[in-house]
Structure 1
């Protein structure tokens, strides 16, 4: 089932197509509808929940009169307002990250580069617990930490379905050298990465220190692709906020950087051998 986040993106994309088909600039459409230009932009990019009345007004302005098409848009609007399963964790999940979880839940492909952390979809509960315990920007009690871990483990369900999602992650050697939680926790985490990488829909590459300077230094990013909605999204996370990029020039730049990283990194096979050696030498109790 499509997530509400992705349904909003699909609806926004269709409304943009209709506006452009009606030869209307976003500012002109906003003026005619009594909306702000910002509201039209947020609707078309799927960043806000739509009201049926707003959708009906937009469809009327864009010349949509076919009853079947109107019903289809209204049905899509109603589905896009439904709560996703992750909203049950709203008490511990920042609103800006709820959007990402919704996108992740319906992505067909995720390409990522991580310089500091094991990707969330591959984290063990013990590793995640240590990360949350040191989240100094927001002190979390034990209950909140456990709820966040439960959410993270539930997010990982999508990786277990090869037909639904493929994941290709490039991980800096620094991620794996940093002893988060000590040798036991890291040993479990590294072995988990080895296990996960055996899945047909998962590719993990290690970017070694020996690769030297590279085009993603100082940043992390994820490129999310969708089977049902046109256009990719680049997601970059900061301590208390996130950045979503949808311009094609931004997408192309990140894709180019990711391709360079996969060339600089160890091959998937060599990466697994490297992880086996690391686990044996550094994280064996």
Structure 2
């Protein structure tokens, strides 16, 4: 049986592996020269540096000795690499979280800012009752145990909002994501949103029912604390997530989101908007 492909590296893993390239270049060596020294082909060294292949501990040690990287710098790299490649919460839910989705979740967990646009209630903001109803509507054949696993994965993901040093999270969604719901479910979801918005690092803007519809597909924008990590955009689909890290492409999405946010009620107004929507369901 063929070995399954290695999942794409997270931003954290690529950054950490990329530091090996910096060490090599500072030492004035080519990947082919390093490959000869550590007994692999030069293309393998390049894949290690890109994060496309896991770096064996002994090979990392050999390369850093070759580059003259010792002591605290060497130990720091190993600590960062171990952190970058350690199993995240999603590994416990691999039966319901595919590898292609885990990439975005890994980067989300390392982000200092999460922004985005969603045509439904964003996953980080969903009440469990909302997610259960959504699953039953879109995947009616799932058994109760599998649905519970999906809800467990959602709860694990949402711990991002209440962990120590959480990211700033700011999402935009249309009003009809709430008004189209059954009234009882709407009230439950609105109450959940109102509770979340008590957190100082959580924000939400709502595109009103009347007005121009944004020409946007759902997307996730992530910013990272290290200054040399590029911002990234993620476009989720039914069977894949496309990652965009090209600065020009990321700027298009961010600028469009900024323009949309500037043209609707601000996040400070959202609690009042939610209460109005909730009252309309009574």
Q: 1:74 Cα deviation (Å)?
A: 3.5
1:91-140 superposed Cα distances (whole Å, 9 cap, x missing partner): 2211111222222222211011112x21111101110111222344x943
Q: Which residue of 1 aligns with 2:185?
A: 185
Unaligned stretches of 5+ residues in structure 2: 1-8
TM-score (norm 1): 0.81
Q: For residues 236-275 of structure 1, what are the structure 2 equivalents within 5 Å?
A: 236-275=235-274
Of 151, 154, 158, which aligns to 1:152?
154
Q: For residues 77-96 of structure 1, what are the structure 2 equivalents within 5 Å?
A: 77-96=81-100
CA contact (8 A) 1:30 1:40 kept: no
Unaligned stretches of 5+ residues in structure 1: none
Change (3 A) 1:53 1:184: same
Q: For residues 1-285 of structure 1, what are the structure 2 equivalents within 5 Å?
A: 5=10, 7-18=12-23, 21=26, 34=41, 36=43, 40=46, 43-44=48-49, 46=51, 48-53=53-58, 55-56=60-61, 59=64, 64-68=67-71, 69-115=73-119, 117-136=120-139, 139-161=141-163, 163-179=165-181, 182-216=182-216, 219-228=217-226, 230-281=229-280, 283-284=281-282
Aligned residues: 269
Q: 1:279 Cα deviation (Å)?
A: 0.9
1:3-53 superposed Cα distances (whole Å, 9 cap, x missing partner): x95641331332343455567898x7899762548x836x55545533335
TM-score (norm 2): 0.81
Q: 1:165 Cα deviation (Å)?
A: 1.5
Moved more, 121-130 or 229-238: 229-238
Q: Which residue of 1 aligns with 2:5?
A: none
Change (3 A) 1:237 1:57: farther
Give the superposed CA RMSD.
3.0
| Rounded Cα–Cα distance in structure 1 between residues aligned with 2:33 and 2:255 | 35
Change (3 A) 1:213 1:184: closer
